[in-house]
Structure 1
Amino acid sequence: MIEMYPKKGKVILHVDMNSFFASVEMAYDTGLKGKPLAIAGNVEERRGIIITCSYEARKFGVKTTMPIWQGKKLCPELIVLKPNFDRYRKTSIAIFELMRQYTDLVEPVSIDEGYLDITGCAELGSPIEIANRIQKRIFETMDLPCSIGIAPNKFLAKTASDMKKPMGITILRKRDVPLILWPLEVGEMHGIGKKTAEKLNSIGIETIGDLAKAHDVTLRQILGINGLKLKERATGIDGRAVDPESIFDHKSIGNSTTLPKDITNQKELIDILEQLSTKVALRLKNKKLVGQKIGVTIRYKDRRTITRSRTVENHFFEKADIHRLAVELFKKHWNGEKVRLLGVTAFEVMDKEAAYKQLDLFSYEKDAEKESLYYAMEKLQSKYGKEIIKKGVEVAEKKGQAETSFSKDFLDNLRLKE
């Protein structure tokens, strides 16, 4: 069996649950099986947003982020249920516990997907046998379908798991990349969104193969260092290790400013918090991140400094939410003395795309409704500079690069105590 594993290199699995929320509901109520099902909020209101839907619903053209009324129009028999996030979190934890029975090298990516490094698991069977066993056990014990990608690195494993859904198992080797991936449109590549694809198209890069052969200087000019990373992925290169400890990272994005004079006027201080919140929100937005813990730093005239924080139920990235939470903290902990410095920080940041799967539905709907506004703001800032949209006085930005990481709220019971 050891001959089926590479002498050099790794064997990585990517397990991706199929239509997770809908599948969990069908496992809980077998009467829903085989029926078009959508998970959404405000089910009584046709303007509610669909979070996910079953494959039966997708056959009618029903999609994620689609308004309920539109889904109903495409599929009159569509069943719409409110989400049960506690049920989804408990199921997710059980899935990852099952994965860890095969290897300790398990890295959760979101509530419904994760990587396994099975390089040292030859005694358990071949990679395809292990993948089959995991898929079969999840289905038999939890009645949930999943797709699994097998590859020498995380990027190719993720790509492979997307190739056959539901209940697929796909092997993707580096030598397969030119034949399988290069003919695809560049926008289909994992890690490339609509805007990045448009930028690449503008310089003649239409396919993944074009990206793999593109000039480094050109890519760096339009995408920065990320352009070179994407080129590596396009050639099948990805050196990232499967990191089980990533779920314990608690990193942050924040801004602080030393005030031009010591201030005791509450309104002035709240206005400054608003400017800081705007900066934090823009940085979160630019990096496509959200936070779940808000922090406020207050330094008094005598240089005494306090930092207070609180974890909130729903992830945030909007300026209004950050400002509201920061003001609540500030009012609770400010002693009324003169303030010399203020800071606002978003802690426990994570990828926005992954967080959408965990967001409270009402937040999800509100964010979806405002996407057109965020897009318009980004276009203005891209064309005329970030200073084109601002309010009030300018606040100095704290120097230094923001740290980012995944923070899995559905695995809170596994986190190290602070």
Structure 2
Amino acid sequence: MTAGKQKGRVIFHIDMNSFYASVEMAYDPSLSGRPLAIAGNAKERKGIVVTCSYEARARGVKPPMPLWEAKRICPELIVKAPNFDRYRSSSKEMFQVLREYTDLVEPVSIDEGYMDLTQTPYRDQAYETAVKIQKRLQKELLLPSSIGIAPNKFLAKMASDMKKPLGITILRKREVPQLLWPLDISEMYGVGQKTAEKLKTLQIEKIGDLAAADEHALKQLLGINGPRLKRRANGIDLGEVDPDRIYEFKSVGNSSTLPYDSTDERELTGLIDKLSVSVSNRLKRKEVMASKIFIMIRYADWTNITRSKTLLNPSDAADEIANEAKALFKRHWRGNAVRLLGVTGTDLVKRKEAVKQLDLFSFQEDAKEEPIQKLMEKLNEKYGTDLIQKGIKIVKKESNTSGTSFNKDFFQDGRKDQ
């Protein structure tokens, strides 16, 4: 990063290599250099490879491969069940190391994050600093990493993917046409399989095609995300490294694989009830409400369908979530044997900000409560805010069930109260 009158930003993206497998090797050095897979429900038919060592990948094993297939490809594969407490502990130690260099560290997940070194003494020794960080993580925590260095978050993320394991890559904006544009559109960060398929309807096959695409057509196809992806394809990303972003979340969901393929509607709707209770409890714990309910059905042949319904009013109630989820299931289930079901609440709004839209069905109930609400408002006005509230706020501790969540629960206990 060259010096000048107007210096650009210096952003790092740190990506831990085969994190779960690497943590297991750090705890048990006898696993080093051997084909290792971390698999959920390793002893059951539904076992799926969550991640694996590079030695296992070299033999053809890759996530999310079914465990039986991984063992067929690599008979000598060592399989361990996930130990999420161990991974959370290693993750916190990793981020503690990063925060020694800058306060601007944004965790993205349990094993990756951004650093902004622009206003630090390290900005003019970016590559050397990356080498030091990588060596420290390897020496102190026995964990390998790849680091991308760039003037923005998008390019830093793309750079960290270029050399694995133990890579350090600098990606400058002027190098985007040469290094990024020839890549297939599916290799671009932020473009999933479905988005890639949509983009190909516009003959966008490469990242360079997206960089030159018509912005109006992109907006029609993908909404506001279209122009944003085009800017990124041109190396433009104004997003800040925000340490508090890890505490934001967009969905709360839960899924469960049945112990056997089932066509029993009673059993399947019963599972949806249980999943809805779990989703409801987590929504309440986060003090948010869902505006949309998604269900996912995975059939015995591994085909998946997802369907959603926007609620009339945001909700965190288990029965409302379950009713909508079961209605979606009954409407779209083909009667085939089901392997997995999932229920997710999305388009979350904070409970305090949720505005109930009165309609013919809810008006009568709300009208009954209006005098009570006015009385509560008067008393709170006179004696202090929140002196009296309807109901009692109960903060439930989330169950310690093994697993990870999109809302980054593993960082919550490290957050400072505002």
Shared fold (TM-score, shorter chain, > 0.5): yes
**Taking structure 1 as reference, are residues 124 and 46 closer, same or farther at Cα in structure 2, changes over 3 Å only?**
same
Q: How does 1:214-253 map to 2 (within 5 A)?
A: 214-249=213-248
Say whether the 8 Å CA contact 1:247–1:406 is kept in structure 2.
Answer: no
CA distance in 2, matches of 1:206, 1:100: 39
**Taking structure 1 as reference, are residues 328 and 117 closer, same or farther at Cα in structure 2, changes over 3 Å only?**
closer
CA distance in 2, matches of 1:23, 1:8: 37
Q: Which residue of 2 aligns with 1:345?
A: 289
Q: Which residue of 1 aligns with 2:171?
A: 172
Count how many residue pairs are aligned between Structure 1 and Structure 2: 313
CA apart distance, 1:104: 0.3
**Taking structure 1 as reference, are residues 193 and 326 closer, same or farther at Cα in structure 2, changes over 3 Å only?**
closer
CA distance in 1, matches of 2:288, 2:412: 24
Q: Which residue of 1 aligns with 2:158?
A: 159
CA distance in 1, matches of 2:106, 2:112: 9
CA distance in 1, matches of 2:233, 2:135: 31
Gaps of 5+ in 2: 255-270, 309-323, 332-345, 351-404
1:22-70 deviation line (CA, Å, top 9, x unaligned): 0000111110011000001332235411100000000111111111110
CA apart distance, 1:87: 0.5
Of 248, 252, 260, 1:290 maps to 252
1:205-252 deviation line (CA, Å, top 9, x unaligned): 111000000001111111111111100110000000000122344x66
1:316-373 deviation line (CA, Å, top 9, x unaligned): xx9655533478899xxxxxxxxxxxx98259x9xx9xxxxxxxxxxx9x98979733
Q: Which residue of 2 aligns with 1:100?
A: 99
Superposition CA RMSD, Å = 3.6
Q: Does 1:373 align with 2:304?
A: yes
Q: Does 1:27 align with 2:26?
A: yes
Q: Does 1:323 align with 2:276?
A: yes
CA distance in 2, matches of 1:149, 1:367: 36
CA apart distance, 1:202: 1.4
Q: How does 1:127-138 map to 2 (within 5 A)?
A: 127-138=126-137
Q: How does 1:180-329 map to 2 (within 5 A)?
A: 180-249=179-248, 289-291=251-253, 320-321=273-274, 323-325=276-278
CA distance in 2, matches of 1:168, 1:329: 38
1:136-159 deviation line (CA, Å, top 9, x unaligned): 000000111000000000000000
Q: Does 1:70 align with 2:69?
A: yes
Q: Does 1:412 align with 2:412?
A: yes
* SS across alignment from 1:14: strand
Q: Which residue of 1 aligns with 2:116?
A: 117
CA distance in 2, matches of 1:319, 1:91: 34
Say whether the 8 Å CA contact 1:65–1:368 is kept in structure 2.
Answer: no
Say whether the 8 Å CA contact 2:219–2:225 is kept in structure 1.
Answer: yes
CA distance in 2, matches of 1:60, 1:195: 29
**Taking structure 1 as reference, are residues 371 and 14 closer, same or farther at Cα in structure 2, changes over 3 Å only?**
farther
* SS across alignment from 1:149: strand
**Taking structure 1 as reference, are residues 370 and 130 closer, same or farther at Cα in structure 2, changes over 3 Å only?**
farther
CA distance in 2, matches of 1:207, 1:109: 26
CA distance in 2, matches of 1:369, 1:95: 39
Task: State the AA in 1 paired with 2:16.
Answer: M
Say whether the 8 Å CA contact 2:39–2:47 is kept in structure 1.
Answer: yes
**Taking structure 1 as reference, are residues 26 and 324 closer, same or farther at Cα in structure 2, changes over 3 Å only?**
same
**Taking structure 1 as reference, are residues 5 and 14 closer, same or farther at Cα in structure 2, changes over 3 Å only?**
farther
Say whether the 8 Å CA contact 1:10–1:153 is kept in structure 2.
Answer: yes
**Taking structure 1 as reference, are residues 100 and 371 closer, same or farther at Cα in structure 2, changes over 3 Å only?**
farther
CA distance in 2, matches of 1:83, 1:37: 12
**Taking structure 1 as reference, are residues 406 and 229 closer, same or farther at Cα in structure 2, changes over 3 Å only?**
farther
**Taking structure 1 as reference, are residues 83 and 329 closer, same or farther at Cα in structure 2, changes over 3 Å only?**
closer
Gaps of 5+ in 1: 253-288, 293-317, 331-342, 353-363, 379-385, 394-399
Q: Which residue of 2 aligns with 1:305?
A: none
Out of 120-129 and 105-114, give the one that drifted further. 120-129
**Taking structure 1 as reference, are residues 150 and 91 closer, same or farther at Cα in structure 2, changes over 3 Å only?**
same
CA apart distance, 1:374: 2.3
Task: State the AA in 2 paired with 1:238.
Answer: D
| TM-score (ref. length: structure 2) | 0.67
Say whether the 8 Å CA contact 1:291–1:346 is kept in structure 2.
Answer: no
CA distance in 2, matches of 1:96, 1:402: 28
| TM-score (ref. length: structure 1) | 0.67
Say whether the 8 Å CA contact 1:35–1:56 is kept in structure 2.
Answer: yes
* SS across alignment from 2:51: strand
CA distance in 1, matches of 2:282, 2:95: 35
Q: Which residue of 1 aligns with 2:336?
A: none
* SS across alignment from 1:232: helix
**Taking structure 1 as reference, are residues 236 and 163 closer, same or farther at Cα in structure 2, changes over 3 Å only?**
same
* SS across alignment from 2:106: strand
* SS across alignment from 2:204: coil
Q: Does 1:36 align with 2:35?
A: yes
CA distance in 2, matches of 1:27, 1:230: 38
**Taking structure 1 as reference, are residues 392 and 237 closer, same or farther at Cα in structure 2, changes over 3 Å only?**
same
* SS across alignment from 1:244: coil
Task: State the AA in 1 paired with 2:12.
Answer: L
CA apart distance, 1:177: 0.4
Q: Which residue of 2 aligns with 1:143?
A: 142
CA distance in 2, matches of 1:132, 1:195: 37
**Taking structure 1 as reference, are residues 210 and 107 closer, same or farther at Cα in structure 2, changes over 3 Å only?**
same
